[in-house]
Amino acid sequence: MKYYSGETVDLGDHVVEAGSKGVVVVLVEASRALPPYKASEWDYLCRGCMIHFESSGDLVHYESTSNEEDLELVKRV
């Protein structure tokens, strides 16, 4: 998966979308997740990533991020 900017999406990336800060917590295709998330819980989605947005507490699935112009990588840890 890649961001609109062309950078590869990675676990733990800090992102921002429309002013909302979030963290990439699951990479579905790679079957990787940050604790306390479990990658196996999201296998049925087959691809994409899950981003946890801090202010709202929302957990959002992105099947693809390459078309999401508003989703930007802020920091990689």
Domain boundaries, the chain: 14-75
Confidence (pLDDT) at 75: 96
Identify the DSSP state of 45: G
Distance, in Å, from the CA atom of 68 to the CA atom of 77, rounded to the nearest integer, reads 21
pTM over 0.85: yes
Residue with tokens 């112009």, as numbered in its chain: 69
Residues 9-67: pLDDT tens digits?
999 999 999 899 999 999 999 999 999 999 999 999 999 999 999 999 999 999 988 77
